Amino acid sequence: MRLAVIVLNWNAGPETIRCVQRLSSWQQMPPTIWVVDNASTDGSVEAIAEGCPSARLVRNAANLGFAGGNNQGLRQALAADSASILLLNNDASIDEPSAIRLCMTLVECEALGFVGPLLFASGETQSLLSAGGLSIATHIHTHTSRLTPGPYVRLVDYVPGTAVMIRPKALAVGLFDEDYFFSGEMADLCERARALGLESAIDTRARAIHTRHDPSRLRDTLYTYYSLRNRFLFVRKFRPRQRAWLYGFWLLLGLTMRARAALQGRSDRAQAIHLALSDGLRGRFGGQNERVLCTVQRRSGARCHTQT
């Protein structure tokens, strides 16, 4: 089976190298590995080229986000006529038997366009992080973290992009919508593929490990900004009849989040939420890294000098 794996890198060379080296050790189903670099500035590209000579390296001239970066890899995989395509975060790992299981599930279930594994946290406890995604239009916490008795293969609203096996046919609807830049693009793609009759599912016989990252300023700003702002984009595209009340719901929730962040002294987060609400309501989408970070820095009295 011709499997392509796409790994996205942005200033995280050591993680990407470890991820690719694990994939390169597979014996039963050796994949073609595409590493897409989103204009890293930390020497990642040179380190990956040296440490992963078997990987095919795509170098973007700018940071295109999760959506645009992975689209570059998807175009390469589609041109190579891959039978299945695995998107894998560089901070995640999946073993070969689980990847084979996901490929077989796509073969056995022709109605599926996307299938993912159970996602567990790294560490001793390995708690369940996600058993699939719920609609980002109506759910605050979209990752299902409770596993109930049921069939091995379970339909979900979307498969998290941390680790997802894709049937190339599902990409007949197009690639990721780059207006999302980061967060929500998998939910969007799964929603569009559903119009072709291709569903999304989790196979509970497969598992992947995702490394939890410590809280950081980037998470308080960029992650917060995109995850909230992009709800408005998703609603605009797929829930037009419910747009008024769903916009009102996310606006009220966002204002509550902003007030809580301010009371906690998390001014960066409060400002990111303010920008997310403003941009979401006005329809300002796409990559906004530099603008968000510069606005936050100016508000805190610091000089703006970001490279994103």
> What are the pLDDT tens digits along the chain (308 aa)?
799 999 999 999 999 999 999 999 999 999 999 999 999 999 999 999 999 999 999 999 999 999 999 999 999 999 999 999 999 999 999 999 999 999 999 999 999 999 999 999 987 677 999 999 999 999 999 999 888 889 999 999 999 999 999 999 999 999 999 999 999 999 999 999 998 899 999 999 999 999 876 556 666 799 999 999 999 999 999 999 999 999 999 999 999 999 999 999 999 999 999 999 999 999 999 999 999 999 988 766 666 655 55
Query: What confidence score (pLDDT) does residue 70 get?
Result: 98
Whole-model pTM: value is 0.94
Count Cβ atoms within 10 A of the Cβ of residue 195 and give its class: 0-12 exposed, 13-18 middle, 19 or more buried.
exposed
Query: What confidence score (pLDDT) does residue 308 get?
Result: 52
Q: Which fold has domain 3-210?
A: Spore Coat Polysaccharide Biosynthesis Protein SpsA; Chain A (3.90.550)
Query: What confidence score (pLDDT) does residue 305 get?
Result: 54
pLDDT in tens, 288-302: 999 999 998 876 666
Other C-beta atoms closer than 10 Å to the C-beta of 143 total 16
Query: What confidence score (pLDDT) does residue 147 get?
Result: 87
Query: What confidence score (pLDDT) does residue 278 get?
Result: 97
pLDDT in tens, 105-138: 999 999 999 999 999 998 767 799 999 999 999 9
Query: What confidence score (pLDDT) does residue 148 get?
Result: 86
Query: What confidence score (pLDDT) does residue 61 get?
Result: 94
**Both tokens assigned to 218:** 């980037």
- Helix 13-24 to helix 44-51 angle, to the nearest 10 degrees? 20
Return the domain boundaries, the chain. 3-210, 217-299
SS (H, E, C) the chain: CCEEEEEEECCCHHHHHHHHHHHHCCCCCCCEEEEEEECCCCCHHHHHHHHCCCCEEEEECCCCHHHHHHHHHHHHHHHCCCCEEEEECCCEEECHHHHHHHHHHHHHCCCEEEEEEEEEECCCCCCEEECCECCCCCCCCCECCCCCCCCCEEEECECCCCEEEECHHHHHHCCCCCCCCCCCHHHHHHHHHHCCCCEEEEEEEEEEEECCCCCCHHHHHHHHHHHHHHHHHHHHHHCHHHHHHHHHHHHHHHHHHHHHHHHCCCHHHHHHHHHHHHHHHHCCCCCCHHHHHHHHHHHCCCCCCCCC
